Structure 1
Amino acid sequence: MHSCYVRDLDSSWSMKRAVTPYNLLMIISNGSLTYWVDGEDLSLQAGDVLFIPAGSVRGGTSNEQHQRYATHFSSLGDEELLPLLASKQPCKLKLQNIAYFKQRFSLLNHHWLTKGPYSSVICCGILLEMLGIVNHELDHQNISTKKVKLVEDLKAYIHSHYKSLLKLQELADYTGRSPNYISYVFKEATGFTPIEYLHNVRISIAKDLMLSKLIPIREIADQTGFSDQAYFNRVFKKVTGYSPTYFVNKTTEKTVWSE
């Protein structure tokens, strides 16, 4: 890895076209912009992932205020494991689970900035996981529209009911399908079971609450559908890799973001 950052950019941002020396992986977490890659215009919206291989000519301009996570990296022998790197072609796709991918990017950025004794190893591991997720979703773009609609309906239901004690059987009853079937289809399309997706939605919302409101963690646990704080703490650490208290302490410190 050569760099990793998260940026909030206003509508005046633009970048002249130039050759990128390293591979670039980027996710747009909100807003929109237009990127130019090797003469092709790419409209990027929240939830879009963009991969640009080293040597491509790229540039861009904001359509409105937007936020992006990005990392520049070189690949050394990973092409056999990751067709994305072997193809040497730019690609854009819409992620099924932007909340989880954003969390992984956030954790990647955290370890990149801390520069701890094992940060380089941890960063490479997280980056490989993220590239694996992108490859997985590229491989599953041909899932039937009927299955995609089922998954989208389930995701919408989860987002509307995450505060309740949501169970797999309730999701099955909502769709009129068996728990085993919806679990299989959901994981086929997203890489996650419905409950794993639910946990990621809850934790993503919990992190936003921690940053925007000065309320106790136990209240945040209640507001995000967890039965008790201990359960919330376990799921938070499983999803993010660190405890809620650690997250609050680290994100309230003054950090200088650098590209």
Structure 2
Amino acid sequence: MIQLMSVNFDDYIPNWRTQLETLAYNVLVVVREGKVRYEINGEEIIAEKEDVLFIPQAAQRSGGNWNGVPHQKHTILFTLDDQGTTGTGIPFLDAGQCLKFNLSHIQYAYHRCERLYEEMRGGKSYRNMICLGILQELIGMLARELEKTELTPSKRKYADTIKSYLLEHYREPIEIDRLAKLIQRSSNYTAALFKEVYGHSPIRYMHQLRVHEACSLLLQSDMNITHIAHYLGYYDTSYFYRMFKKYTGLSPTDYVHQGDQSDVSMLFT
């Protein structure tokens, strides 16, 4: 039985660090921005943007900002009741080893962490049940990811090269041919490779990045919808409306009226 202890969101904390200690709980770390340095059982581990880190109970851990630069991450602390000889049935939990890996649907994981953090801070009815359900979903996602066929280092490198380019240039027109030239492979291979690694096409990922930023701009800026569309590379505002509704289920106007960015997880399912 999983027992959720606490959920934290470290938002660019200056001089963040944690002293060396033997953990009495398990920790899931989901890094959103920057890098964080840990020493776990005497080994240095650097976790950076889009990395997920599992630190098991009884590990010796210390940590701090990497090179003194603040970062942004979610941390989830939980324990496991005595499972006897059967264990939990989740291999990475039962192995009790530190793991660092990537998720195909990292943006969805970010939003589940956001929802978990907000539910833990609130006092609404059935909070404990909802929080446990979200944590179990995250653990299930991680376990499923680890069951996938191991990717070759070259495939991971190519996919990461494409993803880094998209993260920097998603507001610009994106063509598969251009992405293919980055890794010197064919367009068909490039699109298939990215989908194999991350679970969706490069173009879909570009739209997800654009729509995610649109959600923030709609609620947190004074830009109008046409300006936001153009800023994000949608020079046909009606096309922006269609893409926004496709990924959120709402029109931009309805999203503003709803006025709540706490659960946009449907963007990345």
Match of 2:265 in 1: none
Once the two structures are aligned, what percentage of the paired residues are identical?
27
Structure 1: runs of 5+ lacking an equivalent: 252-259
Secondary structure of 1:215's match? coil
User: 1:245 aligned to 2:256?
Assistant: yes
Closer, same or farther: CA 114–200 of 1 in aligned 2, 3 Å: farther
User: 1:84 aligned to 2:92?
Assistant: yes
- The one-letter code sitting in structure 2 at the alignment partner of 1:203 is V
2:219–2:256 contact (8 Å) kept in structure 1: no
CA distance in 2, matches of 1:54, 1:216: 49
Superposed, 1:1-259 pairs within 5 Å as 1-62=4-65, 63-75=68-80, 79-80=88-89, 82-95=90-103, 98-140=106-148, 142-156=150-164, 158-159=166-167, 162-163=170-171, 170-171=175-176, 175=180, 177=186, 182=190, 184-210=192-218, 213-217=221-225, 219-225=227-233, 227-229=239-241, 231-237=243-249, 244-245=255-256, 248-249=259-260
- The one-letter code sitting in structure 1 at the alignment partner of 2:88 is E
Match of 1:257 in 2: none
1:217–1:229 contact (8 Å) kept in structure 2: no
- The one-letter code sitting in structure 2 at the alignment partner of 1:29 is R
How far 1:37 sits from its partner (Å)?
A: 2.2
How far 1:139 sits from its partner (Å)?
A: 4.4
CA distance in 1, matches of 2:223, 2:187: 39
CA RMSD across the alignment:
3.5
CA distance in 2, matches of 1:20, 1:156: 34
**1:117-138: CA deviation from partner (whole Å, max 9, x where unpaired):** 3443433333233323333444
CA distance in 1, matches of 2:56, 2:40: 10
How far 1:56 sits from its partner (Å)?
A: 2.4
TM-score by length of 2: 0.71
How far 1:85 sits from its partner (Å)?
A: 0.8
**1:44-74: CA deviation from partner (whole Å, max 9, x where unpaired):** 3333322112232322222321222111123
Structure 2: runs of 5+ lacking an equivalent: 263-269
TM-score by length of 1: 0.73
- The one-letter code sitting in structure 2 at the alignment partner of 1:223 is Y
Closer, same or farther: CA 32–185 of 1 in aligned 2, 3 Å: closer
How far 1:96 sits from its partner (Å)?
A: 5.5
Closer, same or farther: CA 213–89 of 1 in aligned 2, 3 Å: same
CA distance in 2, matches of 1:218, 1:120: 41
Q: Which has the larger radius of gyration?
A: 2
1:99–1:204 contact (8 Å) kept in structure 2: no
How far 1:206 sits from its partner (Å)?
A: 2.4
How far 1:141 sits from its partner (Å)?
A: 7.8
Match of 2:266 in 1: none
CA distance in 2, matches of 1:64, 1:94: 22
1:164–1:225 contact (8 Å) kept in structure 2: yes
